[in-house]
Amino acid sequence: MAVDTDPSAIEQAVLDLIAKEASIERSKIELGATLKELDVHSLDAVQIVFSIEDKFNITVPEDQSQYATVTVQQLIDGVVKLVAAQHGG
Local confidence pLDDT in tens for the 89 residues of the chain: 567 889 999 999 999 999 999 999 999 999 999 999 999 998 999 899 999 999 999 998 876 556 667 899 999 999 999 999 987 76
Alpha carbon distance 69, 63 (integer Å): 10
Name the pTM for this structure: 0.89
Cα R_g (the chain), whole angstroms: 12
CATH superfamily of 7-86: ACP-like (1.10.1200.10)
Domain positions in the chain are 7-86
Task: Measure the CA–CA gap between 71 and 36, rounded to whole angstroms.
Answer: 9
Distance of CA 61 to the CA centre of its chain: 12
Q: Is 73 helix (H, G, I), strand (E, B) or coil?
A: helix
Contact 22, 44 (CB under 8 A): yes
